[in-house]
Amino acid sequence: MAGTKRLICDAEALIEGGSGVRFMLERAGETVPAFVVRFDGIVRGYINRCAHVPVELDWLEGQFFDSSGLYLICSTHGATYHPETGQCGVWPCSGLS
């Protein structure tokens, strides 16, 4: 519902470049998985779905960052996403034609 606020987690639970918190949200009449992480001091939220194949990104539940802690990474084929924008940066997905 537009304008409804709810608590996902305490802001202090999100550590810079660390684990994210998964949650579900309503989007266009569907319930979809989403997550929040902290990057560059700001809490950022995204739909938990790779842009290439409709799979969730986290490689373990709540683990969205690569080993550098600088990029979000898809656990399926390793595409990386800029945590500031959610835009795909490196696109190694072999699942595309």
Q: Given the rule CB under 6 A, which residues bind ligand FES?
A: 50, 52-53, 55, 74, 76-79, 93, 95
Which is nearest to 83 in space by CA: 36, 49, 27?
A: 36
| Nearest distance in Å: CB 28, ligand FES | 21
| Nearest distance in Å: CB 52, ligand FES | 4
| Nearest distance in Å: CB 1, ligand FES | 30
Q: Are 82 and 73 in contact (CB under 8 A)?
A: no
CA 36 from chain centre, in angstroms, equals 6
For residue 44, how many other CB atoms are within 10 A of its CB? 17
